[in-house]
Structure formats: C-alpha cells, structure tokens
C-alpha cells in the first residue's frame, strides 16, 4: 500500500461517501483495570507527535469518544464504546441499544442490531494471567455463543511492565488464533503501538465491508 496514492482520490472519496457509511463503532471489552479507559484516551489523545505519520489527519471529540481518521484518502469516524459502568458489553451485546436508565452517558442509537459494533477489542493486561482468562471467556462468548463475525483484536496491554509480565506471546497468540483474532501488544500508558492498533482496526473494518459487499 503506497502512501502516495492518497492524494489522487482524496477529493472524490470524501465528497462521494456519506458520513453514515464511514461511521464505525468499536466495542472495547476486557476486565477491570486492564487499561481500557487509558487505551481509548490514547486513541483520542491529541499530542502532535502521534497521528500525522501513521494515521494521516486525526480529529478527536473527547466528549463523544469519537475520532476522525483520514486513512488512504478516506475519512472515517470511529466511536469507541468503552465498557461503561463496569458492564461487560460482550455479555450484553445490545447494552447500548437500550440505554434506558442511563443519563445520556452512553451512546444511544436507535437503529442498532445485536452487533452494533463493527469491530471489538478484547483487552487484557500482560501482567495479569486472570485477565487473559477473562479475555478467553469473552472471546468464546462473542464467537461461539453469539456467533459474532466482526473483526476482533485481542490486545495485550501494559507491555511496558516487562518485569511483571506473566503472559507469554505464545499463549496470547494461541488464544487469538483460536478465535480468529488479530493479536497486538500495546502500552496504553506510553502510547506504544496504539496508533498501529487504531489503523489496524479501521483497515480491518474496511476490508471486511468491501469483501462482504461483493
Ligand atoms: P480499565 O479499568 O480497563 O478502564 O483500566 P484503566 O484504563 O482505568 O487503567 C487501570 C490502571 O492501569 C491505571 O492506573 C492506568 O494508569 C494503568 N495502565 C493502563 N494502561 C497501562 C499501560 O499500558 N501500562 C501501565 N504500566 N499501566 C497502565
């Protein structure tokens, strides 16, 4: 994929695609304390250093948990649905469909399907074996119980805690492979590989949609 190819079709694609078509939701799942909030904050962070190189132009809306990403000449809006109020989104796939008693804290959309997310990230902490087990249960639930066919990224977070590491790459990869997920290790705290994850999620969503449209 050539970086330069973006210029030639930027105007066409931005003008030609409606916002709705390029608005994607990403569910952020995982046990408490694994770094979900930090990861989303990192996606939305506005430091100059990130973004420009890998992600093109990035506009963020902190209040709405959305980030606008210009990638390969096309702009997409990604909304991150963090596991709010400690609820496990994977166990309640339509949790955001019926935000009955929430005071507008969570995104409410009327036209949602059981899988209202276009992709999921299942986050665990590399220094916490239990969180990997939790990830296993979540993946099993998503793929096997609910039949989810969306892109799922298994994210091993806190890669900076090298000495406290308790989960091997092999074990994590094995799990990712078992449930047809991509595996990536990040440090949400340091912003390490978080851009790569953001881009990977968007590419995956686009690829999936373009193949399913054929
Ligand atoms: P959540 O409960 O999954 O939303 O987790 P948080 O994002 O609130 O993070 C829990 C704790 O882990 C906080 O103290 C974070 O600062 C810390 N944390 C999150 N990500 C990382 C990371 O990549 N490395 C390290 N060392 N700490 C992290």
Does residue 50 contact residue 188 with C-beta atoms inside 8 Å?
A: no
Q: Which of 188, 192, 194 to mutate to test the pocket of ligand 1 (most atoms within 8 A of CB)?
A: 188
Per-residue pLDDT of the chain (214 residues; tens, 9 = 90+): 444 433 333 333 333 344 545 899 999 999 999 999 999 999 988 544 444 445 555 666 655 788 999 899 999 999 998 764 445 554 445 444 333 333 444 443 333 344 678 999 999 999 999 999 999 999 998 898 888 889 999 999 999 999 999 999 999 999 999 999 999 999 999 999 999 999 999 999 999 888 877 6
Does residue 184 contact residue 213 with C-beta atoms inside 8 Å?
A: no
Q: Which of 27, 29, 38 to mutate to test the pocket of ligand 1 (most atoms within 8 A of CB)?
A: 38
| 188 within ligand 1 shell (Cβ under 6 A) | yes
Looking at residue 189, its pLDDT comes to: 96
- Does the interface predicted TM-score (ipTM) exceed 0.90? yes
| 32 within ligand 1 shell (Cβ under 6 A) | yes
Q: What is the DSSP string of 181-210?
A: -EEEEEBTTTTBTHHHHHHHHHHHHHHHHH
E strand or H helix at 53: helix 52-55
124 has which bridge partners? 156
Give, as one character, the DSSP assignment of residue 86.
G
CA distance 135 to 125: 10
Indicate which residue's Cα is closest to atom 17 of ligand 1. Answer: 35
Looking at residue 141, its pLDDT comes to: 86
Does residue 165 contact residue 131 with C-beta atoms inside 8 Å?
A: no
> What is the token pair recorded at 46?
């506005």
**How big is the chain, counted in residues?**
214
CA 34 – ligand 1 centroid, Å? 6
Q: Within a 13 Å sphere around the CA of 126, how many CA atoms are in the beta-carbon half?
A: 22
Q: Which residue has the tokens 């995104």?
A: 107
């Amino acid at each position: 994929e050539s970086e330069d190819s973006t210029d030639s079709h930027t105007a066409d694609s931005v003008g030609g695609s409606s916002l709705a078509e390029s608005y994607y939701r990403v569910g952020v799942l995982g046990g408490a304390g694994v770094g979900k909030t930090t990861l989303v904050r990192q996606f939305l962070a506005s430091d100059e250093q990130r973004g420009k190189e890998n992600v093109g132009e990035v506009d963020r809306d902190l209040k709405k948990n959305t980030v606008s990403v210009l990638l390969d000449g096309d702009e997409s809006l990604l909304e991150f649905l963090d596991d709010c109020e400690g609820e496990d989104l994977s166990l309640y796939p339509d949790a955001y469909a019926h935000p009955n008693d929430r005071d507008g804290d969570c995104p409410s959309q009327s036209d949602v399907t059981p899988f209202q997310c276009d992709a999921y990230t299942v986050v665990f902490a590399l220094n916490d074996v239990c969180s990997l087990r939790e990830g296993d249960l979540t993946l099993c639930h998503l793929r096997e119980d609910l039949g989810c066919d969306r892109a799922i990224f298994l994210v091993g977070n806190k890669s900076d805690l090298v000495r406290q590491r308790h989960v091997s790459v092999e074990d994590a990869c094995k799990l990712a492979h078992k449930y047809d997920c991509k595996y990536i290790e990040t440090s949400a705290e340091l912003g390490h590989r978080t851009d790569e994850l953001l881009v990977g999620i968007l590419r995956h969503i686009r690829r999936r949609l373009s193949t399913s449209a054929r």
